[in-house]
Chains A and B, each alone.
Chain A
Amino acid sequence: MVFFENLVLGFSVALTPTNLFFCFLGTLIGTLIGVLPGIGPLATISLLIPTTFYMPPATGIIMLAGVYFGSMYGGSTTSILVNVPGESASVVTCLDGYQMARQGRAGPALGIAAFGSFIAGTLGLIVLMLVASSLAEFALKMGPPEYFSLLILGIIMTVYLAQGSMIKALIMAAIGIFLGTIGTDSFTSQSRFAFGTLYLRNGIDILPVVMGLFGIAEILTNLEETTRTEIFKTEIKHLFPTIQDWKDSIWPILRGSLVGFFLGVIPGGGPVISSFASYVIEKKISKYPERFGKGAIEGVAGPESANNSCVSGAFIPLLTLGIPSTAVMAIILSALVVHGLRPGPLLLKNYPDVFWGIIASMYIGNAMLLVLNLPLIGVWVQVLKVPYRILFPIILGLCMVGVYSMNNNVLDIGLMVFFGVTGYFLRKFDFEAAPLVLAVVIGPMMEDSLRQSLLIFRGNVFGFFHRPIASAFLIFSFILLAYSIVAWARKKGRVYE
């Protein structure tokens, strides 16, 4: 009964004209940036955070969540029609989606991607609603030692699931933790690594870091390459998949939803890994694995469903525990903090309207995206024709304006450029930026909870193991690390990374 009351409360917030408008705007912008290669949801959400300063908290987060959902939908369009992923979670859709387009089946590919995303997104939200309250209640029993152990587990999971070298991912996470400590120490009021500047004494803001590492670095990388993309010229018809297409796709959609949701909840999972995991599973259990890569509809349905349900799953640790599981969630966390809200178990208790309003708006956003994607596919194709040489200066200009408008400080632009150049070189040297971003946000939380825990335990580090939940998280983290080291040792004969 309480569940339905909450649902009604959520929809009463989400269905106000203002929230509906900003939900629509978010999904529209999200689809647009999903369609356009070269700018992802992370940089866009960072860019849009300053615009939410003037909105009520729920409205702002509803718009940002819409952007994230929308980018997952939009990314598939570019993958299917251009064979270039609109954003990284759609990389795997290129494999079969583009082949389907070449075989004259662009319509069913786009259709199943949209329907699969809708089904997965909705299923993910239902689970989110069912588990959120009980998880938030459980989180209320957690103290600083439990939080610290959970954050350690989060960092280890992020590193474990990193796409490249684990050592490099760990270095990035440690750099992120260090960056999070810059500024005035909240315990002693000492200035740390500020080099006598007032700017650094306030700490490093996450937005210039993200816009630099993801927005600017992406453009600098693209500038180096002179390749031109061409849209595959085909008539887009039969957007509604046939009964056979549905028969082939329904189980991949359901499996993708499950895999995506699970990988969304655990730190470091994220839409990219979800879509790859779903593709691998579908190929493994398929009776005809040889069809994969040659236009199998299951290869589109599974991954596209997985990346969408992953977004729903990722909101669980953020809204109930206050812990972001992906870099995008880290940014949404900072947006909530800007609005004076502390994500975590108390969010549900103190701001139920915001909590349930955001969740209800995601249902609406998913429905809007289905409507946006299918009938407007022609519009998105036209968007793809905008030359990159016009787009990239505008994106750079938007990054500059966005980062400046945050604090009206030109030094923020300087910081963004610094991280942009850094991000470019990190890519060159095969370092992933996502663990760094996540660590910048959770680093201060980690430091606070560690120092509080050590005060509680009077400096005894083994005190963590006297608390059952904390010790469970820490033991699991150690097992995960040990497993990774053993796996590496087995492979070291052929691979050194």
Chain B
Amino acid sequence: MSDGKWKNIYSGFFFLSIGIAICIGAWKLGILEGHVPRAGFMPFLAGMVISGLSLLLIFLAVFGRQKRGEANEAKIKGDKKEGSQRIGVAIFALIFPIFLIQLLGFLITIFIFFFFMFKWIERQKWRASAFTSLLIALGFYILFQVLLEIPFPKGIFGF
């Protein structure tokens, strides 16, 4: 089977499980009380549509014919290991401020964020990464915290 078919099968099963979970959750909330729709009514409808269409997606992927040219798709895309690493680092860099911003405050957190980006995604030298990150972080701090007075957490250092 081609890459495209597998994509549809995987995504079909993923959304089927989501659809079923929504239906179960909605059922617990209550669907109808006489003629009156309950809180679970709309989510149940949405869950049913998701489940039904996911099944259709899987069915068509398994029994439908292949789209012309799709079989070569995987080969054309080539190796993307480096790209995946960059994405992993970017996601990590986006997640850690959620946990650190209360502790370290806005300025230091945003500096670390930019430093991460320049050093480990763009592979710049230490000094260049630190300098660029500091400049941008200061710009963000002055614009958003000082001028626009957005109440960011100040952290243990008080800024």
Binding site for B on A (CB under 8 A): 51, 167-168, 170-171, 174-175, 177-178, 181, 185, 187-188, 190, 192-193, 216, 219-220, 223-226, 389-390, 392-394, 396-397, 400-401, 404-405, 408, 410-411, 413-414, 417, 420-421, 424, 428-431, 443, 446-447, 450-451, 454-455, 458-460, 492-497
Within B57-103, which residues are at the interface with A (CB < 8 Å)? 57, 60-61, 63-68, 80, 82-84, 86-87, 90-91, 93-95, 97-98, 101-102
Whether B39 pairs with A190 at a CB distance below 8 angstroms is yes
A421: chain B residues at CB < 8 Å are: 91
Q: Given known contacts A178-B43, A219-B90, A430-B7, is B15 in contact with A171 (CB within 8 Å)?
A: yes
Interface residues of chain B: helix, strand, loop or mixed (majority): helix
> Nearest Cβ in chain A — how far from B4, in angstroms?
8
> Nearest Cβ in chain B — how far from A444, in angstroms?
9
B94: chain A residues at CB < 8 Å are: 216, 396, 400, 413, 417, 420
- Sample (8) of A-B pairs whose CB atoms are under 8 Å apart: A188-B38, A393-B114, A401-B110, A401-B144, A404-B150, A413-B98, A451-B37, A451-B42
Q: A174-B50, A443-B46 are in contact. List 17 more A-B contacts (CB 8 A).
A: A178-B46, A178-B50, A181-B46, A192-B40, A220-B87, A223-B90, A393-B118, A401-B150, A417-B95, A429-B11, A451-B37, A454-B35, A455-B36, A459-B34, A459-B35, A496-B60, A497-B64
Kindly state whether residue B142 has any CB partner on chain A within 8 Å.
no
* Separation of A6 and B24 alpha carbons in the complex (Å): 52
In the complex, the chain A residue whose C-beta lies closest to that of B40 is A192
* Separation of A185 and B32 alpha carbons in the complex (Å): 14
Whether B86 pairs with A223 at a CB distance below 8 angstroms is yes
Whether B35 pairs with A188 at a CB distance below 8 angstroms is no
Q: Which of B19, B50, B60, B90 has the most CB of A within 10 A?
A: B90
Q: Given known contacts A413-B98, A451-B41, is B110 in contact with A397 (CB within 8 Å)?
A: yes
A181: chain B residues at CB < 8 Å are: 42-43, 46
Q: Given known contacts A397-B110, A401-B140, is B43 in contact with A192 (CB within 8 Å)?
A: yes
B140: chain A residues at CB < 8 Å are: 397, 401
Whether A174 pairs with B98 at a CB distance below 8 angstroms is no
B153: chain A residues at CB < 8 Å are: 410
Whether B86 pairs with A410 at a CB distance below 8 angstroms is no
In the complex, the chain B residue whose C-beta lies closest to that of A408 is B151
B84: chain A residues at CB < 8 Å are: 224
> Nearest Cβ in chain B — how far from A57, in angstroms?
19
> Nearest Cβ in chain A — how far from B150, in angstroms?
5
* Separation of A396 and B136 alpha carbons in the complex (Å): 12
A446: chain B residues at CB < 8 Å are: 42
* Separation of A392 and B132 alpha carbons in the complex (Å): 13
> Nearest Cβ in chain B — how far from A245, in angstroms?
38
Whether A192 pairs with B39 at a CB distance below 8 angstroms is yes
* Separation of A252 and B37 alpha carbons in the complex (Å): 51
B138: chain A residues at CB < 8 Å are: none
B8: chain A residues at CB < 8 Å are: 429, 497
* Separation of A405 and B145 alpha carbons in the complex (Å): 10
Q: Which of A225, A401, A405 has the most CB of B within 10 A?
A: A401
A51: chain B residues at CB < 8 Å are: 148
B46: chain A residues at CB < 8 Å are: 174-175, 177-178, 181, 443
A400: chain B residues at CB < 8 Å are: 94, 97, 110, 113
A167, A410, A447, A451: the one contacting B101 at CB < 8 Å is A410
* Separation of A404 and B90 alpha carbons in the complex (Å): 18
A-B complex: 6 closest residue pairs judged by Cβ atoms: A496-B64, A459-B35, A224-B83, A393-B117, A185-B39, A178-B46
In the complex, the chain B residue whose C-beta lies closest to that of A54 is B148
A443: chain B residues at CB < 8 Å are: 42, 46
* Separation of A446 and B46 alpha carbons in the complex (Å): 12
Whether A494 pairs with B68 at a CB distance below 8 angstroms is yes
Kindly state whether residue B10 has any CB partner on chain A within 8 Å.
yes
B83: chain A residues at CB < 8 Å are: 223-226
B36: chain A residues at CB < 8 Å are: 454-455, 459
Whether B60 pairs with A497 at a CB distance below 8 angstroms is yes
* Separation of A401 and B15 alpha carbons in the complex (Å): 32
Whether A396 pairs with B90 at a CB distance below 8 angstroms is yes
* Separation of A392 and B118 alpha carbons in the complex (Å): 10
> Nearest Cβ in chain A — how far from B53, in angstroms?
5
Q: Given known contacts A188-B39, A493-B65, is B86 in contact with A175 (CB within 8 Å)?
A: no
Whether B86 pairs with A224 at a CB distance below 8 angstroms is yes
> Nearest Cβ in chain A — how far from B147, in angstroms?
12
> Nearest Cβ in chain B — how far from A297, in angstroms?
32
Within B115-137, which residues are at the interface with A (CB < 8 Å)? 117-118, 121-122, 132, 136
> Nearest Cβ in chain B — how far from A493, in angstroms?
7
Within B1-37, which residues are at the interface with A (CB < 8 Å)? 4-5, 7-8, 10-11, 15, 18-19, 22, 25, 29, 32, 34-37
A220: chain B residues at CB < 8 Å are: 87, 90-91
* Separation of A219 and B87 alpha carbons in the complex (Å): 9
In the complex, the chain B residue whose C-beta lies closest to that of A171 is B53
Q: Given known contacts A178-B22, A224-B84, A413-B97, is B61 in contact with A496 (CB within 8 Å)?
A: yes
> Nearest Cβ in chain B — how far from A411, in angstroms?
8
> Nearest Cβ in chain B — how far from A35, in angstroms?
20
B90: chain A residues at CB < 8 Å are: 219-220, 223, 396
Whether A447 pairs with B53 at a CB distance below 8 angstroms is no
Whether A431 pairs with B50 at a CB distance below 8 angstroms is no
* Separation of A450 and B41 alpha carbons in the complex (Å): 10
Q: Given known contacts A396-B94, A397-B140, is B25 in contact with A193 (CB within 8 Å)?
A: yes
In the complex, the chain A residue whose C-beta lies closest to that of B66 is A496
A411: chain B residues at CB < 8 Å are: 98
* Separation of A459 and B36 alpha carbons in the complex (Å): 7
B35, B38, B60, B122: the one contacting A389 at CB < 8 Å is B122
Whether B65 pairs with A224 at a CB distance below 8 angstroms is no
> Nearest Cβ in chain B — how far from A221, in angstroms?
9
